[in-house]
């Protein structure tokens, strides 16, 4: 699985090692971190692009992120696509959670799902919320889900 920095630079180590290095570096300079994970997707003809981001928030000192992009030709309903986004986010959150717990770093999983029933993505709200909360993660949906609806969104447009 290839992860990149926002500037396009490919991360050279496994994502777990890269995140551990970030935590050590940020702790060393006294920054308190929180991690938000989100995924967004965009259908372009017969192709669906997914972008998953790990956003590192430095308390009162900005943020940065790592990005993983995927492409599929699999056709899916809007509900299935929303739940596929959530599954991608949960997968990386699960991989990172014990490390983040070790360093007492907060973790949120953001779903690019609208809480307003007028929007199509709302069809997946209850399942996504149950999935994320059931895995023991903090759940955020639009408009608070900036990792998916703003950060990941920029990577699939």
Q: What confidence score (pLDDT) does residue 114 get?
A: 86
Whether the CB-CB separation of 51 and 4 falls below 8 Å is answered with no
The string of pLDDT tens digits covering residues 4-53 is: 999 999 999 999 999 999 999 999 999 999 999 999 999 999 999 999 99
Domain at 17, CATH number: 3.30.420
β strands within 24-105, DSSP E = 33-44, 47-58, 63-72
Per the structure, how many domains does the chain have? Answer: 1
Give the domain range for residue 16. 4-156
| pLDDT confidence bin for 155, thresholds 50/70/90 | very high
pLDDT for 11: 97
Residue in this structure with the two tokens 């290095």, named with its chain if needed: 21
pLDDT tens for each residue of 60-86:
999 999 999 999 999 999 999 999 999
Tens of pLDDT along 93-141? Answer: 999 999 999 999 999 999 999 888 898 888 888 899 999 999 999 999 9
Q: What is the pLDDT of residue 1?
A: 81
pLDDT in the model for residue 122: 85
Q: In what order do the strands lie in the sheet with 47-58?
A: 4-5, 63-72, 47-58, 33-44, 106-114, 138-142
């Amino acid at each position: 699985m290839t992860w990149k920095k926002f500037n396009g630079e490919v991360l050279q180590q496994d994502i777990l090692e890269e995140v551990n290095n970030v935590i050590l570096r940020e702790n060393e300079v006294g920054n308190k971190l929180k991690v938000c994970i989100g995924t967004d997707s965009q259908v372009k003809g017969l192709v669906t692009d997914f972008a998953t981001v790990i956003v590192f928030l430095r308390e009162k000192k900005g943020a940065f992120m790592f990005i993983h992009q995927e492409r599929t030709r699999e056709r899916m309903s809007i509900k299935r696509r929303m739940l596929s986004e959530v599954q991608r986010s949960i997968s990386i959150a699960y991989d990172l959670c014990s490390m983040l717990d070790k360093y007492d770093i907060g973790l949120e999983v953001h779903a690019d799902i609208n809480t307003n029933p007028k929007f199509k993505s709302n069809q997946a709200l209850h399942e996504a919320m149950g999935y994320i909360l059931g895995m023991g993660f903090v759940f955020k949906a639009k408009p608070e889900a900036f990792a998916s609806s703003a950060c990941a969104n920029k990577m699939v447009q």
